[in-house]
Amino acid sequence: MLQQTQVKTVLPFYARFMGAYPDIKSLAQSDLQDVLKQWEGLGYYARARNLHRTACLVVADHDGILPSDRPRLQKLPGIGDYIAAAVLSIAFNQPYPVVDGNVKRVLARLFEMDANVNQSTAIKQFKTAAHELIDARRPGDFNQAMMELGALVCTPANPDCDTCPVSFACLAFEHRTVALYPQKIKAKPTPKVHLAIGVVFRDDRVLITKRPPDGLLGGLWEFPGGEVKRKERPATACARALKQALNLKVTVDAFLTQVTHAYTHFKIKADVFICAYQEGPLKLGQAVDYRWIGIEEIEQYPFPKANHKFFDVLRAAAANRPA
């Protein structure tokens, strides 16, 4: 099931992932690092980690078969209300409504609901409305139809009411109030974070570090760095962050590039520098592992998308470095 991710974004990943892990057992037997590599570029890495952990638990505790009752299903990592409702309705024909952003929009317009779609406390009202509508004989088809209706017809802007198969029952359509729904509370501006990242060369090898297994981008490898403080020069921040995070003294030799990336709840702008190792036994702080690798080995490790954005320019810079 997809949340905050579009189908067309996922399709190539889905084919690749299913090719690598065609069933629960093969996923359970795989190494997490390989799973993250298959997932690389898709974001939301907790989903990959949870999928892997869930596969291991299903094989170990449930004979390799996904439980079909809600309490046991929701004990598995990453399976909350939304995924449980989707799995139970689509795979096991049980009457649980799936309520995602698309479905909330459809419901808000169908019933002229005043509940705010982006307020977590309003979810109960949307679930109640969906419960009243669900077709108990074909709950999986009903849920998929609602999600598709929201994605393809009852779109956020310019819904296609003239071809909508449920316009006969839609209060907003009847009252010409479609533009007023769904209602939302004004979102806060997205915080922005300024980072300085160091590509630290030691002879012809570069340093990469591994993030802790849980949390944002958990288990991925990255080029180390840290946040730029107010009024601090990014190059100074880079050297300071490498010293603080890894006990490394480096010289900052050149500015490589700047990349930007948007995560769900914040945006980053990262200045990337070419650095040279000077001294210091490397000490891991938050990072859980490190490697000195050749540039050509980058592809073997799973990296965040923000790092991928400077790989081409890094390869070119590395090729032009004096031997």
Who's near 181: CB < 8 A, 6+ residues apart? 105, 108, 109, 112, 113, 172
Contact pick of 28, 35, 55, 110 for ligand SF4 (by CB under 6 A): 110
Tokens of 56: 């291991």
Does position 170 interact with ligand SF4 (CB under 6 A)? The reply is yes
Tell me, residue by residue from 138 to 157, as one string, x for binding to ligand SF4 by CB under 6 A and - for no binding.
---------------xx---
Does position 306 interact with ligand SF4 (CB under 6 A)? The reply is no
- In degrees to the nearest 10, what's the CA dihedral of 226, 232, 234, 239? -60
- Judged by DSSP in three states, 119 sits in coil
310 and 272 in contact (C-beta within 8 Å)? yes
| Cα distance between residue 19 and residue 215, in whole Å | 27
Return the number of other C-beta atoms located less than 10 Å from residue 283's C-beta.
11
**Which of these ranges, 17-25, 168-176, 253-261, 301-309, lies near ligand SF4 under the rule CB under 6 A?**
168-176
Which residue, 187, 190, 172, is CA-closest to 260? 190
Does position 217 interact with ligand SF4 (CB under 6 A)? The reply is no
* Near ligand SF4 in 177-216, by CB under 6 A: 178
Contact pick of 43, 97, 140, 159 for ligand SF4 (by CB under 6 A): 159
Which residues are registered as beta bridge partners of 272?
197, 257
Does position 125 interact with ligand SF4 (CB under 6 A)? The reply is no
Task: Give least dist CB 39 to ligand SF4, A.
Answer: 34
Q: Which is nearer to ligand SF4, 161 or 216 (CB)?
A: 161
Chain residues in the site for ligand SF4 (CB under 6 A): 106, 109-110, 153-154, 159-161, 164, 166-167, 170, 172-173, 178
